[in-house]
Amino acid sequence: MAAIETSLRHPAPPPGARPDWTIDQGWSTYGADEHRVWTTLYERQLSILPGRACESFLRGLDALDLHRGGIPDFHRINPELQKLTGWSVVAVPGLVPDAVFFEHLANRRFPAGQFIRRPDQLDYLSEPDIFHDVFGHVPMLTDPVFADYMQAYGKGGLRAQGLDHLHHLARLYWYTVEFGLMDTAEGLRIYGAGIVSSRAESVFCLEDPSPHRLGFDLERVMRTLYRIDDFQQVYFVISSLEALRQVTLEDFGPLYQRLSGAPDLAIDTVLPGERVLNHGSQAYAQAATDAGRGATPATTALAS
């Protein structure tokens, strides 16, 4: 039991945060320069996302009116979001322990970083800020099917706490919620938050010949390593949000059994017989490695 208790215990919340790690957003404390960063990032993304982001994402942006300019006030968007899917956004100081994160998701609360990146960090930051979390993740939570998926993911995470399969779940999160693509009648579209909140990767993920684009398979994704420091080397494509929701209805017990005996897959793997939409050249990753940019692939999640 000690092992399970240890994994359930997590560090105490930082000073000023509540036991569930939430803090007040303090919308009135944001300065004009911080609102300007939001508007700059927002307008940059809106110049490239139509035709690249999926319809659910674009509809969610409109439904929550996140283009009103400036950092959204959670007191304004939460009643609208709750009416649509029962979700709300809660402010947190930054990354929270897995157990806390899953507990919020299981209760339809999305933890969003309260801070926004500095003007000199527009293109990369190490921890999810309010632009990554609210612009990237929240519009999809207006879609009832995706909203169900995210809550089921949180419940699955709470169940997996006692097991040593968190890293498998974190990969599922990474390759769907953060970096997922979907098939549509008009072609591939983005639904992953890590992509839609990144100007360069919004283009790279769909158009560059370098990364693999493979059909989504739950067990395969859970075996696949990923990297947290650069563009992804593989993107997984779902046929629909409903198909994604369906995977959470499976009993993960037998799946975890099979995963226990299955070796991890390197990020540039293409398996025989799997659906290959693009067999990537991996040229971008090779150039990054040659330039000494490539870190070792990670297996633990750090939302980008």
d(CA 200, CA 48): 10
d(CA 31, CA 187): 40
| CA distances to 49, 98, 221 from 57, in Å | 10, 25, 23
**What is the x/- site pattern for Fe ion, positions 118-157, by CB under 5 A?**
----------x-----------------------------
Q: Residue 58 touches which of ligand HBI, Fe ion, none (CB < 5 to 8 A by kind)?
A: none
Q: By C-beta, is 194 or 211 nearer to Fe ion?
A: 194
**What is the x/- site pattern for Fe ion, positions 189-208, by CB under 5 A?**
----x---------------
Q: Residue 173 touches which of Fe ion, ligand HBI, none (CB < 5 to 8 A by kind)?
A: ligand HBI
Contact residues for ligand HBI (CB under 6 A)?
92, 95-96, 98, 101, 111, 128, 170, 173, 301, 303
Helix, strand or coil, per DSSP, at residue 207: helix
| CA distances to 19, 154, 258, 301 from 97, in Å | 12, 13, 27, 11
Under the binding rule (CB under 5 A), the answer on residue 301 touching Fe ion is no
Tell me which residue of 131, 85, 133 sits closest to 108, measured CA to CA: 85
Pairing of strands 212-215, 187-190: unpaired
Smallest gap, in angstroms, from Cβ of residue 153 to Fe ion?
Answer: 12
Smallest gap, in angstroms, from Cβ of residue 137 to Fe ion?
Answer: 6
d(CA 30, CA 65): 19
Cβ neighbours of 184 (radius 10 Å): 12
Smallest gap, in angstroms, from Cβ of residue 258 to Fe ion?
Answer: 28
Residues 69 and 35 sit within 8 Å (Cβ to Cβ): yes
Contacts of 1 (CB under 8 A, 6+ apart): none
Smallest gap, in angstroms, from Cβ of residue 208 to ligand HBI?
Answer: 25
Smallest gap, in angstroms, from Cβ of residue 173 to Fe ion?
Answer: 8
Task: Report phi then psi at 234, rounded to 5.
Answer: -145, 140
Residue 205 burial (CB < 10 Å; 0-12/13-18/19+)? buried
Chain-centre distance for alpha carbon 91: 17
Smallest gap, in angstroms, from Cβ of residue 125 to ligand HBI?
Answer: 13
Q: Which residue is nearest to Fe ion (CB)?
A: 303
* Residue listed under structure tokens 């995963």: 259
Smallest gap, in angstroms, from Cβ of residue 209 to ligand HBI?
Answer: 29
Under the binding rule (CB under 5 A), the answer on residue 303 touching Fe ion is yes
Q: Residue 134 touches which of ligand HBI, Fe ion, none (CB < 5 to 8 A by kind)?
A: none
Residues 111 and 92 sit within 8 Å (Cβ to Cβ): yes
Q: Residue 98 touches which of ligand HBI, Fe ion, none (CB < 5 to 8 A by kind)?
A: ligand HBI
Q: By C-beta, is 81 or 106 nearer to ligand HBI?
A: 106
Q: By C-beta, is 90 or 303 nearer to Fe ion?
A: 303
Q: By C-beta, is 193 or 206 nearer to Fe ion?
A: 193
Residues that bind Fe ion (CB under 5 A): 128, 193, 303
